């Protein structure tokens, strides 16, 4: 279970007793006679949670024991109201484990606010497994201003036993046990609850003129959200302001009536004072705000909107911020309305408005889309408001997400119906598109090899009578990605899924004879399914024949780097395999080994909170030279599995004195990600900053272009 899955599965129980005392029972010692756990602690997940006499100190600790299958998780957790301010929050605690496998154990720290998970870590990246005596562990996270609840916990994923004791929580280095509660300022937007149960809006089957009017409203609503000072201060719950405005707006009979209604609405928000600090768009800006739509409005409306732009909000904003030191957008105080399994017409329209405007003002790669983003509101309004059930809403959402052409963007969270649509049952084989054909590359469970009746290298040509190329064309719009190879990568994982127990396939075996068979399908949890590449616990580096070193970043650890330099310093060459996702961030710690002088390798584009839609270049970032430089050749292997941090790491290695990149198109999605929450508990992301080479050449969608292109072949797959 990954961090994302854990975050989605763990839903905080707000009915659990709040901790009003300043003294929190983080040592498990205090227990009421009628409580099975220590006071304040509660259970998440499916495993056995008890108090134990096996302790690090004192008389009690918290214990988690898996069931025999060990395919789920268990957590012992404690909820603390976030009545404190600060920048960093740190959880420390002692943990002991026994026979932990097929998962990991760790501390868990989660910060919630406005119904969202704002920050989260469960130590999964540290891969704490096996049997270990009591050791101290820690987690440090950013502490957001909008924090409402702090969740501290111990968690066990997979099989085994884990004990937890003596937790300590501190904010900016000060123990929370000694901190005084603070009364947090509540803004007006947080007090507005009028539409918590529904928007009361009906928009089914809007005609062409209504769609045109709704598209204009979506633009105005989003423009005001990110520019109007009163909204920036949190004086309006802007989602609900939309629902108050819509009933009258949908009844207008002319453009003049429509425009006057918009002008009156703007006037009702309060006076916009002259802004002395508002700066014009930087002449050197990489991207500039698109204001042409404002200039095409009638004179009175144009004057109103232009005045707001010229005197727009500056600095702190209730709905948008920028992550420090990076600059990607932080979409704050966006309610996910997760209790709405199927949001009504108004909330579905809100979902479209919210997403369209986030992309319009804060997506650094808007200029790289295939289609004009300005046309998307009118295109998608019918799809969103006419969606007749959860599946149609989720399909419309994932389709517009796909239009931004960003592999970081997909649909998670409450998208259960989309997952069911893909199929509950999985094939026993792993397949990939090789030479534009669907090829069997592996068996999820080797013991089923004979039963499957397919060989590695077999090519599947039809599923239930439908040609593979036709199925792919039907599915492409529902698989967001930066480029076609990455879309095919993701489709290949799902293409054989079904809600039936079997599918009929046609395939060509390595005998070149067309054959047919019925392929049995199985529930996911009965197979050792992996998505893109098979994980391994093997050592991250080894010596190959002919005095060549090999390093896989899939399981590299920070401590491996000094050993790699020592073991491979006299080799003829080193191969670094990044056809995976790095387990440790190594661009500087390992990249510095391959440059003889400080060398630029990347620069970014970042947005401007004070002028939404403006993006400017940062200065070049360099790989420093540290110690002795490697004298041999460096070869870096990449393909469509190389995504995000893997691509960034490839850029760092490309700066080396003697580097050759070999392989095929990478995923084409780089840059720190920003979360986006949509009604119905849906969640997506975007690449939040632009990542470019020092000369300005882009990597988004293009990926890391290899110096020597080599693609897998069906013959090569057959030969292992």
- The HSE-up count of residue 326 (CA atoms within 13 Å, CB side) is 15
CB 169 within 8 A of CB 81: no
Contacts of 375 (CB under 8 A, 6+ apart): none
* C-alpha to C-alpha distance for 223 and 70, rounded to whole angstroms: 50
- Do 129 and 67 belong together in one domain? yes
DSSP alpha helices (H): ranges in 208-344?
208-227, 229-232, 238-249, 255-268, 292-295, 299-310
CB 223 within 8 A of CB 297: no
Asked which of 501, 526, 551 is the last residue of a domain, the reply is 526
Residue 367 lies in a domain: no
> What's the CATH number where 471 sits?
2.30.42.10
Q: How many domains does the chain have?
A: 3
Domain that holds residue 62: 3-184
- Do 550 and 517 belong together in one domain? no
> What's the CATH number where 54 sits?
2.60.120.260
The pLDDT value recorded for residue 96 is 97
**Alpha-carbon dihedral angle through residues 618, 620, 623, 625, given to the nearest 10 degrees:** -130
- Do 99 and 21 belong together in one domain? yes
Residue 356 lies in a domain: no
- Do 32 and 55 belong together in one domain? yes
Residue 198 lies in a domain: no
558 backbone φψ class: left, alpha, beta (φ>0; ψ -120 to 50): alpha
Place of tokens 């302790």: 55
Residue 491 lies in a domain: yes
Residue 575 lies in a domain: yes
- Do 558 and 704 belong together in one domain? yes
Could you tell me whether strands 522-523 and 149-171 are parallel, antiparallel, or unpaired per DSSP bridges?
unpaired
* C-alpha to C-alpha distance for 399 and 648, rounded to whole angstroms: 27
Asked which of 470, 499, 526 is the last residue of a domain, the reply is 526
Residue 233 lies in a domain: no
* C-alpha to C-alpha distance for 509 and 648, rounded to whole angstroms: 39
The pLDDT value recorded for residue 184 is 74
Angle between helices 208-227 and 255-268 (to 10 degrees): 20
- Do 572 and 709 belong together in one domain? yes
- Do 605 and 663 belong together in one domain? yes
Asked which of 184, 206, 226 is the last residue of a domain, the reply is 184
- Do 561 and 684 belong together in one domain? yes
> What's the CATH number where 571 sits?
3.90.226.10
Ranges of the chain whose pLDDT falls below 50: 1-22
The pLDDT value recorded for residue 117 is 79
- Do 558 and 500 belong together in one domain? no
At 439, give phi and psi (nearest 5°): -120, 135
- Do 498 and 636 belong together in one domain? no
- Do 521 and 546 belong together in one domain? no
Residue 531 lies in a domain: no
Structure tokens at 693: 């080479």
For residue 606, which of 693, 692, 690, 671 has the smallest C-alpha distance?
690
- Do 518 and 645 belong together in one domain? no
The pLDDT value recorded for residue 115 is 65
Handedness of CA 202, 205, 209, 211 (dihedral sign): positive
The pLDDT value recorded for residue 13 is 40
The DSSP secondary-structure symbol of 287 reads B
End-to-end CA distance of the chain: 29
Residue 368 lies in a domain: no
């Amino acid at each position: 279970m990954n961090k994302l899955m854990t975050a989605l599965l763990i839903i905080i129980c707000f009915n659990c007793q709040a901790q009003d005392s300043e003294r929190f029972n983080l040592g498990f010692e205090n227990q009421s006679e009628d409580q099975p756990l220590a006071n304040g602690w509660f259970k998440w997940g499916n495993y056995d949670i008890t108090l134990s006499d096996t302790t690090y100190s004192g008389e009690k600790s918290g214990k988690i024991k898996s069931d025999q299958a060990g395919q789920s998780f268990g957590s012992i957790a404690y909820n603390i109201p976030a009545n404190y301010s600060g920048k960093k929050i740190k959880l420390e605690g002692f943990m002991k484990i026994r026979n932990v496998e097929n998962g990991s154990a760790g501390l868990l720290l989660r910060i919630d606010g406005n119904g969202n998970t704002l920050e989260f870590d469960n130590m999964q990246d540290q891969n704490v497994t096996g049997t270990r005596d009591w050791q101290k562990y820690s987690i440090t996270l950013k502490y957001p201003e909008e924090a409402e609840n702090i969740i501290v916990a111990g968690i066990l994923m997979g099989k085994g036993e884990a004990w937890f004791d003596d937790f300590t929580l501190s904010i900016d280095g000060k123990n929370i046990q000694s901190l005084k509660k603070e009364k947090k300022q509540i803004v007006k937007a947080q007090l507005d609850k009028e539409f918590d149960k529904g928007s009361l809006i009906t928009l089914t089957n809007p005609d062409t003129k209504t769609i045109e009017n709704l598209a204009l409203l979506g633009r105005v609503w989003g423009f005001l959200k990110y520019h109007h000072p009163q909204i920036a201060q949190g004086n309006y719950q802007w989602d609900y302001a939309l629902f108050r405005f819509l009933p009258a707006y949908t009844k207008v009979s002319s453009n003049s009536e429509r425009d006057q209604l918009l002008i009156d609405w703007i006037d009702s928000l309060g006076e916009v004072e002259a802004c002395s600090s508002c700066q014009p768009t930087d002449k050197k800006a990489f991207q500039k705000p698109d204001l042409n739509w404002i200039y095409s409005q009638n004179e009175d409306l144009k004057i109103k909107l232009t005045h707001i732009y010229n005197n727009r909000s500056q600095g702190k904003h209730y709905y948008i911020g920028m992550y420090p030191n990076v600059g990607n957008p932080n979409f704050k105080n966006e309610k996910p309305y997760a209790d709405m399994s199927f949001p009504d017409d108004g909330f579905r329209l809100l979902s479209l408005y919210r997403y369209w405007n986030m992309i319009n003002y804060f997506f650094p790669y808007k200029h790289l889309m295939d289609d004009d983003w300005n046309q998307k509101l009118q295109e998608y309004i019918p799809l969103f408001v006419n969606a007749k059930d959860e599946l149609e809403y989720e399909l419309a959402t994932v389709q517009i997400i796909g239009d931004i052409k960003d592999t970081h963007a997909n649909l998670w969270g409450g998208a259960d119906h989309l997952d069911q649509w893909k199929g509950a049952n999985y094939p026993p084989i792993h397949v990939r598109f090789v030479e534009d054909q669907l090829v069997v590359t592996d068996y999820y469970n080797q013991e089923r090899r004979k039963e499957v009746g397919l060989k590695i290298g077999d090519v599947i040509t039809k599923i239930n009578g439908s040609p593979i190329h036709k199925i792919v064309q039907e599915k492409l719009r529902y698989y967001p990605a930066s480029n076609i190879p990455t879309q095919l990568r993701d489709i290949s994982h799902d293409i054989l899924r079904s809600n039936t127990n079997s599918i009929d396939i046609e395939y060509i075996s390595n005998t070149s004879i067309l054959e047919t068979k019925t392929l049995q399908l199985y529930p996911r949890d009965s197979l050792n399914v992996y998505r893109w590449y098979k994980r391994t616990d093997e050592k991250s580096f080894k010596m190959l024949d002919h005095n060549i070193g090999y390093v896989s970043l899939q399981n590299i650890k920070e401590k491996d780097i000094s050993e790699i330099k020592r073991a491979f310093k006299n080799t003829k060459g080193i191969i670094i395999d990044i056809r995976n996702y790095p387990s440790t961030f190594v661009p500087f710690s390992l990249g510095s080994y391959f440059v003889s002088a400080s060398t630029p390798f990347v620069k970014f584009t970042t947005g401007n909170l004070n002028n939404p839609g403006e993006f400017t270049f940062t200065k070049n970032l360099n790989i420093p030279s540290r110690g002795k430089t490697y004298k041999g050749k460096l070869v870096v292997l990449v393909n469509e599995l190389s995504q995000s941090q893997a691509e960034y790491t490839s850029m760092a290695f490309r700066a080396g004195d003697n580097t050759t990149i070999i392989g095929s198109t990478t995923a084409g999605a780089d840059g720190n990600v920003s979360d986006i929450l949509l009604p119905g508990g849906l969640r997506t992301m975007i690449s939040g900053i632009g990542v470019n080479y020092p000369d300005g050449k882009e990597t988004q969608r293009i990926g890391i272009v290899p110096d020597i292109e080599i693609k897998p072949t069906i013959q090569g797959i057959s030969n292992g």
